[in-house]
């Protein structure tokens, strides 16, 4: 079995991890500078596509073409997200049901953005192992619906990764805790990340991890905290510096760069106030400087309603699991937003237990993804994970009423069979509308897809008996099969996802990404080579100014020729030739460099002597 | 294991209702370790497909058998040779001794819908709900206690009589639950959107 990596594809940060074969423990793979977290940010610049910290630095400089928090748009319709779009500096437009991002006239889908993040992590892991990697476990919020899971899997495919399993984030966290044998019994995992909230109740015993119930909100997280703080700052600045702003005719809310800076300042203040009680904020503007003190109480007042919103799902999950708070053996905190003291306090009040976070809440999901990957690879055989589907699955029946086929919190994989027939003589096609959610009317639920069962032999109405099997696999993704019972013939099922990419879209994106990827790597290498040439040329020019007289005229001529050769090619696209000329120039100046070093040493010794003389006199 | 076996057979159990929860769970974990997709990654595709179907069957069977009421509903469908997919095997029927009382409750609900609830009306509805919940529990105790024991002891010839008794009790229970749900919805309008609230 080939190696499988575990990836936490987060709203704010993403990570990649694996299980070390010798210790049997999961480990995060850092980048070459030792950083574990890769900011889930992608920036489209003239020099190419940047990702991670490099893209983060473009947030203020290029607000229109730097995409962040794209996880909130994954598998979403334009209608779902349109209210928050005005806070995003990049442009999002509706297209074929889903929300697409407009980057300099080009349309990019959320899975394509996520794919760029996934590819960066894949490359990081490949560098670490020195081998090609193709398989990954990717985590998603437990409360993600079918469309959001499909979108995540599509992102993997576009990045050249076979997503062998989609695993729920709180469940992954419990696997990491379980591996360390930290808790047994009934455990609540409270997972508040950058953009999503999940709560899962598990029964953990003897290596079996059985999810009893899960609930959440896929649109609630640290981003929302930042937003309310940002809007409060904006109002405060407008009130205090009304006159300054009137003089320059600046509308802060309309300026994407200012708004981005405010968002980053809000985030930084939130983070600081999680460990200290008060902090001062200084923001320079064109003709004034905004300066004020912010206290933890200020922040808590602003975010309290949001923290409160997490408690409803917590109670519902507990109820669905058939438990009372006192029946819980432990409460575990996951996700960066659980560092906020108010969150910890409210969770403690709700469950009547001090919540625990021995494993770093930023890393624990990735560590758990690595554990799941190792289970799939056959490296761990004594752990059994039984997860559930978070939402009820049903079909629309007459009058728009939902007939529930699979109720929420059913252990997956699971399947349900339903019989269908025709209503008109000679009808050869039957349409099904599949929805997900807890509401009675189809229009209040999330539309997943319309299935068209075709190839039914013409018969009088009501005669055909079409048995349809709805299977939710271990990834929480729906698979539909149909069979006409009389003939035993499989009916063909065509899926039209309501808010997703059709197969042809994904295929095209995979192809595009290959061409982009190769071009991207080529461009990056060319830029690096040119930079190297530039550096060497600058050094040599300075050396020749200072040490021209140290070498013979023949040598001087050789160096000048090498400088000319490199200068001629350095702006071309011929990377190999630039590289060769750079090496040739380096070689031609080796002797000069040695002579200059000697001269420098002699000078140093002499000046030291001079110092000694001065001192002794 | 084939897909057409019934849930009792999945767990290697006879068609009896006295099932030990601990043993059922242990067997469930054992079967999951055998068929769960997590342990089938290196199997050939056809084998993976088969295991996936069986894993889903094991999950549904466990879900049905671990719940004493769902277990009886399933048994009734099985005995009557009906389609055994999930769904109700019985038509709700009102318990005769409560007919008059329930008629009054329906009227109260109609009034509440028309003119809202005052404190007195609320208290009366809540008291009625509590009485019906207790009556429902009584029916469930009958099902999972005396009747279930009857089934396990019945001779093949005596079984249809027990099945008929199951159906009557299930019908009463289903009826009571509908009325209880209506009462809860009237008492707590915010919770009414949750359709899976009371399902098994």
Whichever domain contains A44, its CATH number is: 3.30.420.40
Whether A191 sits among the annotated catalytic residues: the reply is: yes
Whether A169 sits among the annotated catalytic residues: the reply is: yes
CA distance B106 to chain A (A): 22
Q: First CA to last CA across chain B, in angstroms?
A: 26
- Check if the beta carbon of residue A375 is closer than 8 Å to that of residue B38: yes
Query: A413 at the B interface (CB within 8 A)?
Result: yes
Looking at the fold, whether A46 and A91 belong to one and the same domain comes out as yes
Looking at the fold, whether A198 and A292 belong to one and the same domain comes out as no
In this prediction, residues B129-138 reach a mean pLDDT of: 93
Query: A212 at the B interface (CB within 8 A)?
Result: no
Q: Which residues of B43-74 are buried (b: 16+ CB within 10 A; e: fewer)?
A: eeeeeeebbbbbbbbbbbbbbbbeebeebbbb
Q: Is A148 among the domain residues? A: yes
Which pLDDT value is given to residue A506?
Answer: 76
Q: Is A110 among the domain residues? A: yes
Q: Which of chain B's residues have a Cβ under 8 Å away from the Cβ of A410?
A: 59, 63
Per residue in B52-111, pLDDT (tens digit) is: 999 999 999 999 999 999 999 999 999 988 765 545 557 777 777 778 888 888 888 888
DSSP string, B127-195: HHHHHHHHHHHHHHHHIIIIIHHHHHH--GGGHHHHHHHHHHHHHHHHHHHHHHHHHHHHH-GGGGG-T
Q: Does position A616 have pLDDT exceeding 50, yes or no?
A: no
Looking at the fold, whether A200 and A238 belong to one and the same domain comes out as no
Looking at the fold, whether A150 and A286 belong to one and the same domain comes out as no
- Check if the beta carbon of residue A386 is closer than 8 Å to that of residue B32: yes
CB atoms within 10 A of CB A426: 11
CATH number for the domain that contains residue A283: 3.90.640.10
pTM above 0.80, yes or no: yes
Inter-CA distances, A278 with A96, A273, A345, Å: 47, 6, 18
Per residue in A483-539, pLDDT (tens digit) is: 888 777 777 677 667 776 777 777 777 777 665 555 566 676 777 788 778 878 888
Q: Is A612 among the domain residues? A: no
- Check if the beta carbon of residue A216 is closer than 8 Å to that of residue A193: no
CA dihedral in degrees (A523, A528, A530, A533; nearest 10)?
A: -160
- Check if the beta carbon of residue A431 is closer than 8 Å to that of residue A423: no
CB-CB under 8 Å, A410 with B57: no
Distance CA(A74)–CA(A81), nearest Å, equals: 10
Decide which of A485, A501, A517 is a domain's last residue. A501
Q: Which two tokens stand for residue A559?
A: 């160096």
CATH number for the domain that contains residue A562: 1.20.1270.10
Inter-CA distances, A84 with A308, A425, B49, Å: 20, 49, 42
Phi, psi dihedrals of residue A59, rounded to the nearest 5°: -55, -45
CB atoms within 10 A of CB A168: 31
Q: Does position A617 have pLDDT exceeding 50, yes or no?
A: no
Q: Which position among A31, A80, A191, A224 bears the catalytic label? A: A191
Q: State the total domains in chain A.
A: 4
Per residue in A337-367, pLDDT (tens digit) is: 999 999 999 999 999 999 999 999 999 999 9
Q: Report the percent of chain A where pLDDT is more than 70.
A: 95
- Closest residue by Cα to residue B7 from B51, B80, B56: B56
Q: For A320, which residue in chain B has the nearest alpha carbon?
A: B197
Query: B10 at the A interface (CB within 8 A)?
Result: no
Which pLDDT value is given to residue A27?
Answer: 97
The DSSP bridge partners found for residue A386 are: A210
Q: Which two tokens stand for residue A145?
A: 């619906």
Query: A414 at the B interface (CB within 8 A)?
Result: yes
Looking at the fold, whether A63 and A203 belong to one and the same domain comes out as yes
Query: A474 at the B interface (CB within 8 A)?
Result: yes
CATH number for the domain that contains residue A424: 2.60.34.10
Q: Is A102 among the domain residues? A: yes
Whether A80 sits among the annotated catalytic residues: the reply is: no
Query: B60 at the A interface (CB within 8 A)?
Result: yes
Query: A444 at the B interface (CB within 8 A)?
Result: yes
Q: Is A613 among the domain residues? A: no
Looking at the fold, whether A212 and A234 belong to one and the same domain comes out as no
Q: Report the percent of chain A where pLDDT is more than 90.
A: 59
Looking at the fold, whether A328 and A212 belong to one and the same domain comes out as yes
Q: Grade residue A190 by pLDDT with cuts at 50, 70 and 90.
A: very high
Place of tokens 């991670």: A52
- Check if the beta carbon of residue A117 is closer than 8 Å to that of residue A51: yes
Q: For A209, which residue in chain B has the nearest alpha carbon?
A: B29
Distance CA(A385)–CA(A175), nearest Å, equals: 8
Q: 3-state class of A378 per DSSP?
A: coil
- According to DSSP H, which parts of A470-552 are helical? 503-547
Place of tokens 């469908």: B77
Which pLDDT value is given to residue B192?
Answer: 40
Q: Grade residue A277 by pLDDT with cuts at 50, 70 and 90.
A: very high
* Residue ranges of B 122-141 with Cβ closer than 8 A to chain A: none
Q: Is A616 among the domain residues? A: no
Decide which of A348, A370, A386 is a domain's last residue. A386
* Residue ranges of A 1-20 with Cβ closer than 8 A to chain B: 1
Looking at the fold, whether A357 and A455 belong to one and the same domain comes out as no
* DSSP-assigned letter for residue A360: -
Which pLDDT value is given to residue A466?
Answer: 86
Looking at the fold, whether A440 and A558 belong to one and the same domain comes out as no
Q: Which residues of A232-266 are buried (b: 16+ CB within 10 A; e: fewer)?
A: bbbeebeeebeebbeeeebebeeeeebbbbbbebb
The domain in which residue A251 lies consists of: 222-305
Q: How many residues does chain B have?
A: 200
DSSP string, A392-456: -EEEE-GGGBEEEEE-TTEESSEEEEEEE--SSTT---EEEEEEESS-SBGGGSEEEEEEEEE-P
Q: Is A611 among the domain residues? A: no
Q: How many CA atoms lie within 13 A of B27 on its CB side?
A: 19
Distance CA(A252)–CA(A254), nearest Å, equals: 5
Distance CA(A428)–CA(A459), nearest Å, equals: 8
CA distance A211 to chain B (A): 13
Q: How, if at all, do strands A135-140 and A162-168 pair?
A: parallel
CA distance A409 to chain B (A): 11
CB-CB under 8 Å, A439 with B55: no
Decide which of A258, A282, A305 is a domain's last residue. A305
What rounded mean pLDDT belongs to chain B?
A: 86
Looking at the fold, whether A68 and A192 belong to one and the same domain comes out as yes
Distance CA(A479)–CA(A474), nearest Å, equals: 11
Distance CA(A416)–CA(A406), nearest Å, equals: 7
Q: Does position A95 have pLDDT exceeding 70, yes or no?
A: yes
- Closest residue by Cα to residue A387 from A447, A472, A457: A472
C-alpha B94, offset from chain centre: 18
Q: Which position among A169, A217, A226, A387 bears the catalytic label? A: A169
A490 versus A66: which is more confidently predicted? A66
- Closest residue by Cα to residue B67 from A410, A413, A324: A410
- Check if the beta carbon of residue A591 is closer than 8 Å to that of residue A555: yes
CB-CB under 8 Å, A1 with B63: no
Q: Report the percent of chain B where pLDDT is more than 70.
A: 88
Looking at the fold, whether A381 and A270 belong to one and the same domain comes out as no
Q: Which position among A71, A100, A135, A270 bears the catalytic label? A: A71
Q: Is A201 among the domain residues? A: yes
Q: Does position A430 have pLDDT exceeding 80, yes or no?
A: yes
Q: How, if at all, do strands A384-386 and A208-217 pair?
A: parallel
- Check if the beta carbon of residue A199 is closer than 8 Å to that of residue A310: yes
Per residue in A461-486, pLDDT (tens digit) is: 888 888 888 999 999 999 888 888 87
Q: Which of chain A's residues have a Cβ under 8 Å away from the Cβ of B41?
A: 1, 164, 376-378
What rounded mean pLDDT belongs to chain A?
A: 89
Looking at the fold, whether A452 and A595 belong to one and the same domain comes out as no
């Amino acid at each position: 079995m080939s190696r499988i990596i575990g990836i936490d594809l987060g709203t704010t940060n993403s990570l990649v991890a694996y299980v070390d074969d010798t210790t049997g423990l999961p480990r995060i793979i850092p980048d070459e500078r030792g950083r574990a977290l890769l900011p889930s940010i992608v920036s489209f610049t003239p020099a190419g596509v940047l990702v991670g910290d490099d893209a983060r630095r473009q947030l203020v400089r290029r607000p229109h073409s730097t995409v962040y928090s794209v996880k909130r748009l994954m598998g979403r319709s334009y209608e779902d997200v349109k209210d928050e779009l005005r806070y995003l500096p990049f442009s999002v437009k509706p297209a074929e049901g889903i929300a697409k991002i407009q980057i300099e006239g080009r349309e990019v889908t959320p899975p394509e953005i996520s794919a760029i993040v996934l590819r960066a992590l894949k490359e990081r892991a490949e560098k670490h192992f020195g081998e090609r990697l193709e398989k990954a476990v990717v985590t998603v919020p437990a409360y993600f619906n079918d469309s959001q899971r499909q979108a995540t899997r599509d992102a993997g495919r576009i990045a050249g990764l076979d997503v062998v399993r989609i695993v729920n984030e709180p469940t992954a966290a419990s696997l990491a805790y379980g591996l360390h044998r930290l808790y047994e019994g009934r455990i609540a995992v409270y997972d508040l990340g950058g953009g999503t909230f999940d709560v899962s109740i598990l029964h953990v015993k003897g290596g079996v991890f059985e999810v009893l119930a899960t609930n959440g909100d896929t649109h609630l997280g640290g981003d929302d905290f930042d937003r309310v703080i940002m809007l409060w700052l904006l109002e405060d600045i407008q009130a205090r510096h009304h006159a300054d702003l009137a003089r320059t005719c600046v509308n802060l809310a309309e300026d994407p760069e200012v708004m981005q800076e405010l968002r980053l300042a809000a985030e930084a203040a939130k983070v600081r106030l999680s460990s200290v009680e008060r902090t001062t904020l200084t923001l320079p503007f064109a003709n004034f400087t905004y300066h004020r003190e912010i206290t933890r109480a200020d922040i808590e007042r602003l975010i309290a309603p949001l923290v409160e919103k997490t408690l409803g799902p917590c109670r519902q999950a507990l109820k669905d699991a058939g438990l009372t708070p006192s029946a819980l053996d432990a409460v575990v905190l996951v996700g960066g937003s659980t560092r906020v003291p108010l969150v910890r306090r409210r969770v403690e009040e709700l469950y009547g237990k001090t919540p625990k976070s021995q494993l770093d809440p930023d890393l624990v999901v990735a560590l758990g993804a690595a554990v799941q990957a190792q289970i799939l690879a056959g490296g761990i055989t004594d752990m059994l994970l039984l997860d559930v589907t978070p939402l009820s699955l049903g079909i629309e029946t007459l009058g728009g009423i939902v007939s529930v086929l699979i109720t929420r919190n059913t252990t997956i994989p699971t399947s349900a069979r339903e019989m269908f027939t025709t209503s008109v003589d000679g009808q050869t096609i039957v349409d099904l509308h599949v929805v997900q959610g807890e509401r009675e009317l189809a229009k209040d639920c999330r539309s997943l897809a319309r299935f068209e069962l075709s190839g039914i032999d013409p018969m009088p109405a009501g005669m055909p008996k079409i048995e349809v099997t709805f299977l939710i696999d271990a990834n929480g993704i729906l698979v539909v099969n149909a069979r006409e019972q009389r003939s035993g013939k499989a009916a063909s099922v065509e899926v039209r996802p309501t808010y997703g990419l059709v197969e042809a879209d994904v295929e095209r994106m995979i192809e595009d990404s290959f061409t982009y990827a190769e071009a991207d790597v080529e461009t990056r290498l060319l830029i690096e080579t040119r930079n190297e040439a530039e550096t060497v040329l600058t050094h040599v020019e300075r050396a020749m100014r200072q040490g021209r007289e140290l070498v013979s005229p023949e040598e001087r001529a050789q160096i000048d020729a090498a400088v000319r050769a490199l200068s001629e090619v350095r702006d071309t696209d011929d990377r190999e030739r630039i590289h060769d000329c750079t090496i040739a120039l380096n070689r031609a100046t080796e002797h000069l460099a040695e002579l200059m070093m000697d001269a420098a040493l002699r000078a140093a010794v002499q000046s030291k002597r001079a110092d000694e003389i001065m001192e002794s006199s | 294991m084939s897909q057409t076996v019934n849930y009792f057979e999945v767990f290697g159990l006879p068609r009896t209702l006295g099932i030990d929860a601990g043993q059922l769970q242990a067997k469930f974990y054992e079967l999951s370790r055998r068929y769960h997709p997590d342990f089938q990654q290196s199997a050939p595709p056809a084998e993976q497909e088969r295991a996936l179907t069986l894993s889903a069957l094991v999950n549904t069977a466990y879900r049905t058998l671990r719940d004493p009421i769902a277990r009886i509903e399933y048994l009734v469908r099985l005995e009557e040779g009906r389609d055994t997919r999930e769904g109700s095997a019985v038509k709700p029927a009102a318990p005769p001794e409560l007919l008059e009382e329930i008629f009054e409750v329906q009227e109260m609900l109609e009034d509440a819908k028309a003119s809202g609830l005052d404190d007195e009306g609320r208290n009366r509805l809540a008291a009625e709900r509590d009485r019906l919940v207790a009556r429902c529990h009584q029916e469930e105790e009958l099902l999972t206690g005396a009747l279930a024991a009857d089934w396990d002891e019945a001779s093949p010839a005596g079984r249809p009589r027990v099945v008929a008794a199951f159906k009557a009790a299930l019908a009463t229970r289903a009826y009571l639950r509908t009325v209880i749900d209506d009462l809860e919805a009237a008492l707590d309008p915010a919770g009414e959107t949750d359709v899976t609230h009371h399902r098994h």
